[in-house]
Amino acid sequence: LCITGQTEATVCIGDRFRLGGDRADAVILEVSQPRQPCWKISRRWKHKTLTKLVGTTGRTGWYCRVIKEGVAHVGDPLTLLERPHPQWTV
């Protein structure tokens, strides 16, 4: 997913988000861990140190687990439902 308005500095491990507003088929996601860029971007762009460069930016993203399956549409609102660990930013 590509989202706007969220960064590694503003998202925390354990955050739960609803994707899809108040629709019955909205998705519930939980931030589970930071992610690291993989070697494939260096290979794809033929730049041997690209993976390391991306890692040093601190903008590497995060993984989410699906708490409730549903349907996501382009432009759906992303709503923070709970933040149990505000001190654990990604």
Which amino acid would we find at residue 15? D
The gap from C-alpha 35 to its chain's centroid, in whole angstroms, comes to 9
pLDDT at 55: 77
Taking the model in full, what pTM does it have? 0.81
CB 12 within 8 A of CB 64: no
Residue of 10 and 59 predicted with greater confidence? 10
Per-residue pLDDT reduced to its tens digit, 61-72: 899 999 999 999
What is the distance between the alpha carbons of residues 24 and 38, in angstroms, rounded to a whole number?
Answer: 35
Across 13-40, average pLDDT: 93
Across 11-19, average pLDDT: 97
